[in-house]
Amino acid sequence: MIPEDLRYSTDHEWVRTGAEGVVRIGITDYAQGALGDIVFVQLPGIGETIESGDSVGEVESTKSVSEIFSPLTGTVTAVNEALESAPELVNSDPYGDGWMFELELADQGALDELLDADAYADTIGEA
């Protein structure tokens, strides 16, 4: 099930819009399923300025290590510290407790360039 209220990147990150230009970002259910059991998550630092497309961290699973890419440009305002001791939250609740970081957007209009749920479904072959 792909949540309708989120935006998506072709790199399998999701974006939930929040108040005052801040968004919450994580990886999709499709991505966590492809990775397998997640055992470690490395996240960007609070206050870090990142560009769309930048590698901002890593997700390590029992199968492989994959980079996390930022789908948007902005400044990191929060990270999900719970993932430090419980990285498996990304597997069990990728759209909820498994979120990764929050970003204050440099350009609110960039959200319009991301995929909606239907377009993301097409990307992963679930249309």
Per residue in 92-126, pLDDT tens? 999 999 999 999 999 999 999 999 999 999 999 98
In angstroms and rounded to an integer, the radius of gyration of the C-alpha atoms of the chain is 13
Distance between CA atoms of residues 27 and 19, nearest Å: 21
Write out the chain's pLDDT in tens, 127 residues: 899 999 999 999 999 998 889 999 999 999 999 999 999 999 999 999 999 999 999 999 998 999 999 999 999 999 999 999 999 999 999 999 999 999 999 999 999 999 999 999 999 998 6
Residue 20's pLDDT is 85
Q: Residue 56: phi, psi to the nearest 5?
A: -120, 0
The structural domains of the chain, ordered by start, are 7-122 (2.40.50.100)
Residue 126's pLDDT is 84
Residues in the chain: 127
Nearest residue to 38 via CA among 11, 66, 16, 78: 66
